[in-house]
Structure 1
C-alpha cells in the first residue's frame, strides 16, 4: 500500500472528517471540559480499531489512541478546546450564536479532527505490513490555558515516542521552525482582615493593597529582565465593595521568557515581591501554580519530512466562493494588522501574498531564527522526543487568531483545511514509519541539540489540572 493510497483514503473520508469538525465547531467547549468534542474523536478512533486510553494525566478529556505495535512509535498531537466569549455564526459581521458563549477562534475543531483523520488513514498500511511500528494519536485538552500536554507529559504519555508531529490552523501553509517562549502560570491569593472602610479601616488589612503592591513591584522589575521576557497579569478577585476592606484578593500571572531557566529565575523574583507585598500589608499570601511549559524546539529532520509532504499534497482547493467570503472577512481587519503580518514574512513571500484573501500554496520554511513571544506546550513534547509542527491556511491572510472572523472561517471554508492537514500528517508519519534511517537521524539530532535528560516537568508535585480556570488563551 503506497502513500498515495493513504492520501486517497483521506479524500474518501473527507466528507466524514468535515462533519466531525463541523460538529465540534457547533458544540464549542472550554479547556478540560471538552466532553462532547473528545467523545466524537474517541469514537471515530475506536471505530477504526484503535486502542484508546482515556483520563490521561488526571484529565477526563485527555486520551491516547494506538494502532499497531512495537517501534518506531510515531505520535500525532491533536487539540479540540474552544475559547470563551467568541461565539460566532458563519457571517461576515459579528453575530454570536450565544452572547458571551465560547467559539473556535483558534481552529481546534479542525486541529484534532485532522490528526484523527491522519491516524485512521494509516491503518490499512499497517495491516498490509507496508508499515511497521505504532501510530499513536494524543488527544490533548486545554491548550488555550497551556495545561493539557504539560500534565500528560508529567504522566509519561510521550516518553516512548520516537517522533511526534502536530499542526495548527493559521493563514499560511508552512512548517514552524522558530522557537517560542517558555511560561509559568500562577495565582497569588492574599488574605487579610475585613473591616468597615469608612468607620474602622485601622482594624482591617487589605488583601487588595497587597495585590496592588505586588503589581507595582513587577513594574519596577520589568526594567531588569531580558527584552524577550514577559510578565502580565489579571486580577480575578479585587474585593466586592469600596466600603469593605477586602479580606481576600488574587492576581493571576503569566511569566514568559525564551528559556525555562529564565522563566524560573523571574518566577522566583516574582515570588519574592509577592512575599514582600504581604509583609508590607500584614496579610498572608498563598501561591497556586496552574501550569508551565517549555520553549519549542523544532527537529529539522521531522520538519523537513513535513515540508516534503506539504509540497507533495499541494495547495488547499479553495474555490471562488471560499475566496469571496474570505475577502469579506479580511475586509473587517484593519490594514495595518494585515501589513504587520506581512512584515513577519520574507520580502518576496510578502509581495506574493499581498492582496490575497486566501493563500493556500505551501510556503517554504522561513522562520528558523525567529523567537515568538507566545507559548505552546508542544514545547514540552519537543524536549521529550523529536517534534515537528506546521501551520495550515484555514483563515484569511492577516486575520488575528482568537477573533470572531477566525470562528466564522473555521465553520465554513476552513473545513477544507482538514483534509490538507490530515494528508501532511499522514504522509510524514508514513515516511517515518517506512524509513528507520530517517527516524534514527531525527533522534541523533535530538540527542545532540536537546538531550535525553533535558526535560523535567515544570509542575510542582502537588499541582493538579485547573478545572476551574478558563482564559482567552495563554498561547
Structure 2
C-alpha cells in the first residue's frame, strides 16, 4: 500500500524539481514571498486542496486542507523564505547573481516544495481509500467515516522566527493531531534534540540633534544610548547561564559625524533553553535600556517583533521517520553532483567537514570519511541536546505532537546560511526531493492509519508539554518592515 503512495510521489518528481528551481531562481524575503507562496498554493489548489489565505495577519501565510470524516488531522509544515545578501550562482566560487540580493541559503525552496509533494500524495491515498483500507486491516475498530485530513501549512518568515508564532496565535494549529516537518542538511536522520526559545525586539532611542562641534551641549545622542545599551549587555553576559545567547545589530545610528544623532535603534535576539529563561534575560535587557536612556537623557521605546518556544521533539514521530527511512532507498546522487559537492567542500572553512562528521556515531563517522555527499540514513544522535539556534517549529510543538528530520541536500560540512548551501539548493539538493516527500508522506500515512501510534505520540506530548501561552504581547503586528 505504501508503494502506491511512493509511486504518487515519483509521479510528481519532475514538477517538484521545476517548482524548487523556480523558487530558487526567484528568492523572496520573509513576509514578502508573494510569488513563492502563490506557486505553492496554485499547485495544491490544482490537486483539490481547499486554501485559506492570509492567516495570522500575513498575506503569504496559508493553510491547505484535504480530506473529511472523523479521522485524525495531520499537518505538514512548509517554508519558502530566503535570506538577505546571499544571492549566488551555481558556481564553485562566490559569485552573486545580483549583488546584495537574497538567496536560498537554508534550502527553503526545497523545504516547502517537498511538503507540497507529500501532501498531494497523501490526498491521493485518501481518495483511493488506502487510508481506510490500512486501518481496517489492523486490529483497531474504526467508524464508517474515519477517513482523516492532511493539511499543508504555508509558513512564511521562518528566518526571522515570525510565521508560525503569528499563525499559532490565530489558532490554525489548535485542532491538529500531529505535525511533521524536515530541514535540508548535510546528513539524513531524525532530529530528537531541542532548540532555544527566543525573543526578537528592537529598542529605539530618541534624543536631540545638534551641531556636534559648535553646540554639542544642545544635543542628546541616541547613538550614545545604543552604545551604552550594547556595552551593558556585554557586561551582562558574564552573569547569565552558559546556554543563553544574545545577539544584536545596530539598525540606525545617525547620518554624519558632525550631527548629534537624534534617533538610533538596535535589534536584539535573546535566546535561552526555556521560555521563562528568555523572559528573564529580556527583562534585564529592558532595564539596561532604561538605564542607557537615563544616562543620555534620551527616550527609549520598544518594538517587539516576535518570540518562540523551544522545540519539543516527539520521540514517537521520530521513530516513525526512522521506520520509513528503512523502507526507502538512499538518495541517489550522480557522479557529476558528487564532483560538484567535492569542489564546494574545498571552499569550506578548515575543519568544517571534520566537525560535522564528528557528530556521527559509528559506523557512519568512518563511512562518511571520504564522502562529499553522505545520504545513508542514521539514527538520531542529538537526543537530550539543545542546539544554539532557534526555530518557530517550536511553537507548533507546544500545541501538538511534532517532530522533524534532516535530509542530505548539501555537501558534508556545509553550514546553513552560506553561499555553498545556496549552490546546493539550486543544484544537487533538488535530487533529494522525491526521497523527502516519500518520507513525509509515509510518516503522515502511518499517523493517519495507526491509532495506537498516534495515541502514544499524544501520551508523550502530555508528559513533555505543560500548557501554552503565545509569546506575542497583545496588539503585536507582523514585522513587515524587517525585510523590506
**TM value normalised by structure 2:** 0.95
Does structure 1 residue 470 correspond to structure 2 residue 483?
yes
Does structure 1 residue 145 correspond to structure 2 residue 144?
no
Does structure 1 residue 186 correspond to structure 2 residue 201?
yes
Query: 1:314, 1:361 within 8 Å by CA — same for their partners in 2?
Result: no
Query: 1:191, 1:285 within 8 Å by CA — same for their partners in 2?
Result: yes
Q: 2-side partners of 1:83 and 1:152: how far apart? A: 21
Aligned to 1:306: 321
Q: 2-side partners of 1:293 and 1:249: how far apart? A: 26
- The CA deviation string for residues 93-132 of structure 1, in whole angstroms up to 9 with x for no partner, is 1121111111111111100000000000111211122222
Q: How does 1:61-210 map to 2 (within 5 A)?
A: 61-69=60-68, 70-131=70-131, 132-210=147-225
Q: 2-side partners of 1:343 and 1:273: how far apart? A: 40
Q: How does 1:169-318 map to 2 (within 5 A)?
A: 169-318=184-333
Aligned to 1:39: 38
* Other structure's SS at 1:214 match: helix
Q: 1-side partners of 2:379 and 2:463: how far apart? A: 25
Query: 1:130, 1:434 within 8 Å by CA — same for their partners in 2?
Result: no
* Other structure's SS at 1:136 match: strand
Q: Pick from 451, 454, 459 the counterpart of residue 436 of structure 1.
A: 451
Q: 2-side partners of 1:350 and 1:459: how far apart? A: 42
Query: 2:80, 2:111 within 8 Å by CA — same for their partners in 1?
Result: yes
- The CA deviation string for residues 10-40 of structure 1, in whole angstroms up to 9 with x for no partner, is 1111011101111111111010010110111
Q: 1-side partners of 2:151 and 2:434: how far apart? A: 19
Q: 2-side partners of 1:181 and 1:343: how far apart? A: 22
Deviation (angstroms), 1:148: 0.5
Deviation (angstroms), 1:212: 0.8
Query: 2:225, 2:298 within 8 Å by CA — same for their partners in 1?
Result: yes
Aligned to 2:422: 407
Q: 1-side partners of 2:2 and 2:360: how far apart? A: 32
Query: 1:170, 1:394 within 8 Å by CA — same for their partners in 2?
Result: yes
Deviation (angstroms), 1:135: 0.2
Aligned to 2:406: 391
Query: 1:174, 1:307 within 8 Å by CA — same for their partners in 2?
Result: yes
Query: 2:188, 2:408 within 8 Å by CA — same for their partners in 1?
Result: yes
* Other structure's SS at 2:105 match: coil
**TM value normalised by structure 1:** 0.97
Deviation (angstroms), 1:355: 2.1
Q: 2-side partners of 1:267 and 1:78: how far apart? A: 29
* Other structure's SS at 1:427 match: helix
Query: 1:73, 1:162 within 8 Å by CA — same for their partners in 2?
Result: yes
Deviation (angstroms), 1:348: 3.9
- The CA deviation string for residues 331-389 of structure 1, in whole angstroms up to 9 with x for no partner, is 11123122222233335432221221000111111110221010000011111000010
Aligned to 2:144: none
Structure 2 gaps of 5+ residues are: 132-146
- The CA deviation string for residues 185-231 of structure 1, in whole angstroms up to 9 with x for no partner, is 00000000011110111111111111111111111111110000011
Q: 1-side partners of 2:469 and 2:428: how far apart? A: 41
* Other structure's SS at 2:482 match: coil
Q: 2-side partners of 1:466 and 1:394: how far apart? A: 31
Q: 1-side partners of 2:365 and 2:263: how far apart? A: 51
Deviation (angstroms), 1:417: 1.1
Q: 1-side partners of 2:57 and 2:464: how far apart? A: 31
* Other structure's SS at 2:312 match: coil
Query: 1:310, 1:362 within 8 Å by CA — same for their partners in 2?
Result: yes
Query: 2:185, 2:407 within 8 Å by CA — same for their partners in 1?
Result: yes
Aligned to 2:339: 324
Aligned to 2:59: 60
Q: 1-side partners of 2:456 and 2:116: how far apart? A: 26
